[in-house]
Chains A and B, each alone.
Chain A
């Protein structure tokens, strides 16, 4: 549905605008600069682009902000690092990825400043530098992930065998530790405080025969209340950001890739290929997307990775259709003939010359796609077909309140989070669309 807005891009079918598009592609070096200038003029879009930064930071730094594991803990006779074990052994691979992103943040920042300066001295244009620097970050994350997946490289300590939370910390004795700001874990149950509203304070002492033991977070404030088994909602929301973000981005990358390749092939080769692909696109678009995804997820099993893949394989036709239209137009422009006359292969013509020039409708659709993937994930979880229970997502919180509306905070908080994220992505998308709209460019 979000792609509907993207289709508004008049560069696709309106012959009047075609000349303008051509003009812009001729000056292709300046095209993105123009887009950027236009984008900055749109105040809402520009602000939302900056708002994406804290959203990403929350996702990346979740483990450092919210965790019941202290960074450093002195238990009377030795110093422990429980947090390290925690970030290197998460239950969900997504968490591992984000933890690596968190570890890589500072090394990358240092490297980025340094390489950026070097490149600027060499006279590299700013846009290219920005691209390379972001690529550096990805490389750092991947390198860290691979590095720490090698057995034996991960730092270990004596807490490898024990869980810190229910550990036997007697309340007396000399102990100190450095804790994250919020001292609750996303999957830390607490039988005595189920379904507590926001600003509920965890009791100082537990009464169930465990009085002699003290949790590190006893007496802390559950800022956003607790859920059905007493887990902190704030912690689940923060970790849910990671799931939502990764579902959004991975699903969109999957269907963008498929859509770009299939659309380019259909548009470039035409004839029977085009007809076959167009029919397939039509057929997939006929089925109500949400229902189709629901069936596939329900039948194939519940996991976020499956959701990403299923969204990916059911959503590509919209992108393919956009790209096909654009490629059809680019195919008959002189530079394509020139490239072919110079002896470039079909592959090279498509991926080096035509595709970069037909990306704009797909680029506009991407932010909307991320937003709709986030919505989809939440709605699947709401219906109970999403992730398996211990994984924290926003939709699961909503599901808890589905039967009973007295748990208002379980509805309002995830709703607000979903709304804000979706709005941010939609605003970026609409800003991009307006910026790429040649009619507004003067």
Chain B
């Protein structure tokens, strides 16, 4: 239980690192001082990642549900409903008469957007053209950030009688940016009954509008279609289903009447799902949600209806109850979403083009690093403790001095220096090619038998493991030496000697076990060092493990992966500390968790 605050701290640190992620590329290009070209990410890719990581939410507290979005949206729509030339024209009017109530409100809204020195740009007419572009861009970002919280206000404005045509066009534009996927035309991969109202609602709107354009079907065609539908709904493999649709069954536009009626009428879930797929495949843009700037009243009315069709079934989402609003203050924030993702180990997808799952990446890397780490830990413990004991037993004589000095020198060799020197002397060049230069397997290692494969692996892993363990090995051996010396000086050792136990007997029966206790604690100390130090070793030996993954993600600014890496490593260390505590109790019966209490 004491680990909970620590875990909380871990999430906070991960969150802070996430905040270092480079900002919106659109914003960078819009602000006058923006560092352009800093991130190669495209706007679209950025947007997907932003929505995925909920970066459009507030950081810690979300009061957006209580905010009244009518007025800001009216201003936003005012600008989005106009072309850039019109905005420039309007800006001129704003400068001439900034004090009338309408203009003042508009200027106030624009000032709330993150412009760099808005005032000077507004007062200088030569900058108006760029300012107009920036206004449109910033309003786009504003709408994307407001997200679902603004939808109900926007729809209300859209349906109110006061709004003029341009405002409505702007509003439609704004709503389109707030909502990610307006209409749900098909079921998801595994159809659920709960999806039916949404899907059917969409197609019903469309069908009500288009019904008269489709002539009734004749009997025979109806039967054929009925058969084909039965085959398709019996099909379990999704790829096969699409093969059928693309290569074998071809439909006329008129056949859509059958599918629409089937979908809206009495049918089972599987059939409904197929019908929706077919309709979506053959009807292009059944319910358009976007409008160009120059457009007639009729089209705007129709698109507004489409938005209403989107809004009505989701009313409870867009107009949440007070309880939900209150809950959202804490729950619908960047931090809360991130904590949830971390706690449930859902790290999402990498920000790179490959869009791999971060957890897959982590597992592959971990599967490579973990054996190395374990081998290194084993080497550390199995070499250092006997060395430490050897030194302690021979305290003060030539063996102790030589060994101690050697260990000390070893302690001063940084692992990466050792790695590079090893590579230089043992792998590179013509005469001393004892070990391979890089990677963990020879080429074509997959065809080897088990024994040869493992030997090959060990041969490759030899140097990296050595480098990983050298530093901690020296530290631990020195620690073991002093720890042993401590114990040997205790009274009970003298008593044992006085009883007549032999020298070796004392060392191995009485002293060793007691000397081990403090050494155990170092397990939790050497693990973070190993995890961190592996970056260098893996880069030098080109091993595609956790360290290499971390290095590459830093180079490519792959933040989801980085955050996951940091978090997982912290958790591993946390677990190792826990393990150490448990080992402590097992090794030393004097210690119990009950007694440790406060420490």
Which residues of A line the B interface, CB within 8 A?
1, 4-5, 8, 10, 44, 279-280, 282-292, 294-296, 298-300, 371, 375, 378-379, 382-383, 385, 398, 401-402, 405-406, 408, 411-412, 415, 418-419, 422-423, 426-427, 430
Inside 8 A of A44's CB, which chain B residues have their CB? 405
A402 in complex: contacting residue of B525, B532, B540, B573, CB < 8 Å: B540
User: Considering the chains assembled together, what is the distance between the CA atoms of A427 and B405 in angstroms?
Assistant: 10
**A284 in complex: contacting residue of B13, B20, B405, B424, CB < 8 Å:** B13
B412 touches A423 (CB 8 A): yes
Known contacts A298-B554, A379-B416, A411-B421; A1 and B573 CB within 8 A of each other: no
Residues of chain A within 8 A (CB-CB) of B522 are 4
Determine the chain B residues whose CB is within 8 A of the CB of A294 once the complex forms: 535, 550-551, 554
Given contacts A5-B478, A286-B570, A379-B416, 20 further A-B pairs with CB under 8 A are: A1-B475, A4-B479, A4-B522, A44-B405, A279-B6, A283-B12, A287-B570, A288-B528, A289-B528, A292-B532, A295-B566, A299-B17, A299-B554, A378-B414, A382-B536, A383-B536, A383-B551, A408-B424, A419-B417, A422-B413
Residue of B nearest to A422 (CB): B412
Verify B428–A406 contact, CB threshold 8 A.
yes
- A8 — which chain B residues lie within 8 A by C-beta? 479, 482
Closest CB of chain A to B543's CB: distance in Å?
14
Known A285-B528, A286-B528, A411-B421; judge A426-B6 contact (CB<8 A): no
Assembled-state Cα–Cα distance A279/B417 (Å) = 35
Within 8 A of A (CB), among B520-577: 522, 525-526, 528-529, 531-533, 535-536, 539-540, 547, 550-551, 554-555, 562, 565-566, 569-570, 573-574
A418 to B427, CA, bound (A): 22
Q: How far is the CA of A398 from the CA of B427 in the complex (A)?
A: 17
> How would you classify the secondary structure of chain B's contact residues: helix, strand, loop or mixed?
helix
Q: How far is the CB of A293 from chain B (nearest CB, A)?
A: 9
**Inside 8 A of B565's CB, which chain A residues have their CB?**
291
Q: Bound state CA distance, A296 and B562, in angstroms?
A: 12
**Residues of chain A with a CB closer than 8 A to B531's CB:** 288, 291
* Residues of chain B with a CB closer than 8 A to A423's CB: 408-409, 412
Shortest beta-carbon distance, A292 to chain B, in Å?
Answer: 7
What CA separation (Å) do A295 and B547 show in the bound complex?
12
CB of B129 closer than 8 Å to a CB of A: no
**B525 touching A4 by the CB < 8 A rule?**
yes
Other-chain residue from B427, B429, B482, B550 in contact with A291 (beta carbon distance below 8 A)? B550
Closest A residue to B527 by CB, please name it.
A288
Is B453 positioned at the interface, with any CB of A under 8 Å from its CB? no
CB distance from A151 to the nearest CB of B (A): 29
B412 to chain A, nearest CB (A): 4
Give Cα distance in the complex from A426 to B550, angstroms. Answer: 30
Q: How far is the CA of A286 from the CA of B428 in the complex (A)?
A: 37
> How far, in Å, is A299 (CB) from chain B's closest CB?
4
Quick one: which of A288, A412, A426 has the most chain B CB within 10 A? Answer: A288
The reply on B356 being an interface residue by CB < 8 A is no
In whole angstroms, how far apart are the Cα atoms of A408 and B573 in the complex? 37
Interface: B320 (CB within 8 A): no
* Distance of A9 from chain B, by nearest CB (Å): 10
| Contact B566 A292, beta carbon cutoff 8 Å | yes
Chain A residue numbers with a CB within 8 Å of B276 are none
Contacts A286-B10, A288-B528, A379-B536; A5 near B414 (Cβ below 8 A): no
Most buried by B among A4, A284, A402, A408: A4
Set of chain B residues within 8 Å of A398, measured between Cβ atoms: 416-417, 420
| Chain B residues near A408 (CB-CB < 8 A) | 424
Q: Given the complex, which residues of B lie within 8 Å of A285, measured CB to CB? A: 528
Docked complex Cα distance between A279 and B429 (Å): 51
From B20, B408, B539, B550, A427 is in contact (CB under 8 Å) with B408
Q: A4-B522, A422-B414 are in contact. Are A383 and B6 (CB under 8 A)?
A: no
Q: Which residue of B lies closest to A407 (CB)?
A: B424
Interface residue? B306 (CB, 8 A): no
Rounded to whole angstroms, the CA-CA distance of A426 and B471 in the bound complex is 13
Give complex CA distance A8, B477 in Å: 12
**Contacts A5-B478, A423-B412: A295 and B554 contacting too (C-beta < 8 A)?**
yes
Query: Which of A10, A283, A292, A402 has a CB less than 8 Å from the CB of B6?
Result: A283
Task: Choose from A4, A283, A379, A406 the contact partner of B414 (Cβ within 8 Å).
Answer: A379
- 15 A-B residue pairs with CB within 8 Å: A44-B405, A279-B5, A284-B13, A289-B532, A291-B565, A291-B566, A292-B566, A294-B550, A295-B562, A300-B20, A382-B416, A383-B551, A398-B420, A419-B417, A422-B413
Q: Which residues of A contact B429 (CB under 8 A)?
A: 405
Q: With the chains together, A289 CA to B17 CA distance in Å?
A: 14
Q: Does B9 contact A (CB under 8 A)?
A: yes
Q: Cβ of B333 < 8 Å from any Cβ of A?
A: no
Closest 5 CB pairs of A and B: A283-B9, A288-B532, A290-B532, A405-B428, A423-B412
> Shortest CB–CB separation between residue A398 and chain B, in angstroms?
7
Q: Are A411 and B424 in contact (CB under 8 A)?
A: yes
- Whether the Cβ atoms of B529 and A288 lie closer than 8 Å is yes
* Interface residue B486 (Cβ < 8 Å from any Cβ of A): yes
A402 to B412, CA, bound (A): 21
Query: Does B573 contact A288, Cβ atoms closer than 8 Å?
Result: yes
In the complex, A44→B401 CA distance in Å?
12
Q: A282-B6, A294-B554 are in contact. Are A426 and B532 (CB under 8 A)?
A: no
Q: Given A295-B554, A406-B428, are A280 and B9 neighbors across the interface (CB < 8 Å)?
A: yes
